[in-house]
Structure formats: structure tokens, C-alpha cells
Amino acid sequence: MRRLWLYASLAATVLLLGATLVWLGIQRGAHPPDVARAPLPPGGDFTLQSADGPVSLAGLRGQVVLIYFGYATCPDACPTTLGFTTLALKMLTPGELARVKVIFVSVDPNRDTPAKLRQYVGHFHPNIIGVTGEVPALGEVGLRYGAVFRYTPVSSAAIYVVDHTSITSVVAPDGRLVEQLPHGTTPKDIVAAIRRWL
């Protein structure tokens, strides 16, 4: 009986220690070892249109680039993500900021002209570039970055809304897609992701 109590006490101690280590890892931003991270999509170069002409990912080599797919009349996810990203950019040093760009890819080219996108992203931060393109090209680029979208009719003046994935892709200075940040990632964690690759 005493031996059984000793084993039970030892097992409880081990479980408590393990739970504490996992909790500490989560608090520090680590992932528990048994949580598998989804493989990243392939990413890759693309060229889309901004108000100032074509913007290519290849033309931004040497910088950390954040890429987000959304649209200017998005009621919640897009302004939230761009707002958090703007706060993150403001937390960087001037030297760091000079090596970071954000590409906001509009998947609503019928309403989001390049000129409208320049005005829209201008409300957030000068390091954010608004781009768009033809729907087939947007779909192809989106798939390479794990972003999908679809147009859903609504009975209002908007006529339709765009349902879309809300993730931010992090591209390293050598052009590789290296991380994806889920919707709601805090400005502090966005800064940490940027600094990992600067």
C-alpha cells in the first residue's frame, strides 16, 4: 500500500511538472512539443498593380514583407489586422522600419481600384502598399499563400461581400515564405515575427 501511494505521488509530481513546463512554454510564445504546426504553402514571387505601378515581391528583396489578402470595405477582419500591424510598425526602430514592407492585396478589384487602395492603406501606415489585379491572378497568388476568397451576394447596397482567409504571411528578405500569423495576432507578436527575420 505504501509503495502504491509512493508511485501515485511520483506520477502526480511528474504530471504537475510537465504541465508547468508546457504552461511556461506557452507563456513565452513556444509551442508545446506535441502540437504539430501546419506546413506552409509554397509562396513565391508575384507582381500586382498599385497606384504607383506594378509591385513585385522580387523587387522587395532584402526586406521583411508582410502580406495580407483582404478588401477595403471589409467590416472587421481587415481593419483589425491592419490596425494591429500599424501598431507593430510603430514599435520598430527607424532602422528596422526601413527594412519592412506590408503588402495589402485586395481581392475585390471591382471596387478597389489602385487609387482607392492607396487612399485606404494611407489611413494606416506609409509602409503599407495596396495592390490588386485580375481575379484569376489574385486567386492563383492567394492559393500560393494559403489565402482563399469568395464573393457572397447580400441584399443591401453593398450587393456582395467577400469572404476571405484572414492570415498574415511573413516573407524573409530572401523571398521565402517563413511564417503565417493568424487573425488577432497582437502587435507585440507581430514585432517578434518581424525581428526573427530581419
Please compute the mean of the pLDDT values over residues 146-155 and round it to a whole number: 94
**124 falls within a domain:** yes
Q: Do residues 87 and 98 make contact, with C-beta atoms less than 8 angstroms apart?
A: no
Kindly report the CATH number assigned to the domain that includes residue 181: 3.40.30.10
pLDDT at 37: 62
Range of the domain at 94: 47-197
pTM reported for the whole predicted model? 0.81
Domain count of the chain? Answer: 2
Please compute the mean of the pLDDT values over residues 28-49 and round it to a whole number: 70
Please compute the mean of the pLDDT values over residues 10-35 and round it to a whole number: 34
Mean pLDDT of all residues belonging to the chain: 85
Residue that is written with C-alpha cell 532584402 in the block = 62
Map residue 79 onto helix, strand or coil: helix
Q: Give yes or no for residue 188 having a pLDDT over 70.
A: yes
pLDDT at 10: 35
Q: What distance in Å separates the CA atoms of residue 177 and residue 182, rounded to the nearest whole number?
A: 15
**41 falls within a domain:** no
Query: CA angle, corner 89, sides to 88 and 91, nearest 5?
Result: 65
Tell me, yes or no, whether 94 and 1 share the same domain: no
Length of the chain equals: 198
Q: Higher confidence at residue 146 or residue 31?
A: 146
Q: What distance in Å separates the CA atoms of residue 78 and residue 68, rounded to the nearest whole number?
A: 8
Tell me, yes or no, whether 80 and 166 share the same domain: yes
Tell me, yes or no, whether 157 and 189 share the same domain: yes
Map residue 23 onto helix, strand or coil: helix
Among 24-33, 82-91, 170-179, which stretch is predicted with the lowest mean pLDDT?
24-33
Tell me, yes or no, whether 91 and 144 share the same domain: yes
Q: What distance in Å separates the CA atoms of residue 112 and residue 72, rounded to the nearest whole number?
A: 7
Q: Give yes or no for residue 33 having a pLDDT over 50.
A: no
Tell me, yes or no, whether 83 and 160 share the same domain: yes
Q: Give yes or no for residue 25 having a pLDDT over 70.
A: no
Burial of 182 (0-12, 13-18, 19+ CB in 10 A): exposed
Map residue 180 onto helix, strand or coil: strand
Q: Higher confidence at residue 12 or residue 129?
A: 129
Map residue 169 onto helix, strand or coil: strand
